[in-house]
Amino acid sequence: MKKVWIDAGHGGKDPGASANGLQEKNVVLEVSLAVKQQLESEYEGVQVLLSRSTDVFLELKDRTNKANAAGADILVSIHCNAGGGSGGFESFRYTSASAASAAFQNVLHTEIMSRLKLFGVIDRNQKAANLHMCRESKMPAVLTENLFIDVASDAYKLKQANVINAIMDGHVAGIAKYLGLKKKEASQPANDKVTVIVNGKNVDGAKLESGIVLVPLRAVSETLGAQVEWDNNTKTATITN
């Protein structure tokens, strides 16, 4: 079982960046919860743990201490940026990060940007900095800065559901790719049974698979007053009146 630690930046009394009708703490919490839901519902063998699942304040040391104590395999700290300029997306690892952290950053950054490019988001590249969340984490750790709250064009994008979904999808894809997670097999819907009526009689055993109605050949034939003969050598079914 792989353990993924998702850290939604800021929270509670610390709103993070605030501008253009947005607060960073709310945007990143929405993304973090969606990442957890999609990873656990679509992939096998993964548990997603959260620094926070509600609007609460946590000290930085509490976030990394909990992630380290949980034995998480990777950590992603999700943020939005501020500081003006042209906006865009960037990611950070620790300045003295391990090769594993650098590799994780490359995969995660690439997957996120491949989706954000469709919306004209500027790639501000992969960077290294002395950030607590990356420095104090004992596992490969990356901090993502998902667009600029105080840049009007970026803020407009962050208000669009399809952009938020792209950010979430990119995080999920990057995490899954780096950890080598396998997608769950699609389960047969509970409502796969259908009703088939032949000459006024119900035919038992009919079901729906991939949009195709499958019915037992012998049951349909006998309802029609016909007989079915099966040749196991040639794998041939012959229907006669």
Quick one: pLDDT band at residue 198, thresholds 50, 70, 90? confident
pLDDT over 60 at 172, yes or no: yes
pLDDT, residue 211, reads: 65
Provide the sign of the torsion angle of the four alpha carbons 55, 58, 60, 66, taken in this order: negative
Q: Is the pTM of this model over 0.95?
A: no
Instruction: Report the alpha-carbon distance of residue 195 to residue 208 in Å, rounded.
Output: 10
Mean pLDDT over 191-206 rounds to: 74
pLDDT over 70 at 230, yes or no: no
Instruction: Report the alpha-carbon distance of residue 130 to residue 194 in Å, rounded.
Output: 60
Contacts of 124 (CB under 8 A, 6+ apart): 88, 89, 90, 145
Tell me the domain boundaries of the chain.
Answer: 2-179, 197-240
For the ranges 11-20, 139-148, 200-209, the lowest mean pLDDT is seen at 200-209
Other C-beta atoms within 10 Å of 11: how many? Answer: 22
| Catalytic residue list | 145
Quick one: pLDDT band at residue 187, thresholds 50, 70, 90? low
Instruction: Report the alpha-carbon distance of residue 232 to residue 89 in Å, rounded.
Output: 62
pLDDT, residue 39, reads: 98
Q: Which CATH architecture does the domain made up of 2-179 adopt?
A: 3-Layer(aba) Sandwich (3.40)
pLDDT over 80 at 90, yes or no: yes
Mean pLDDT over 51-55 rounds to: 98
Mean pLDDT over 53-70 rounds to: 98
Q: What percent of the chain has pLDDT over 90?
A: 76
Quick one: pLDDT band at residue 215, thresholds 50, 70, 90? confident
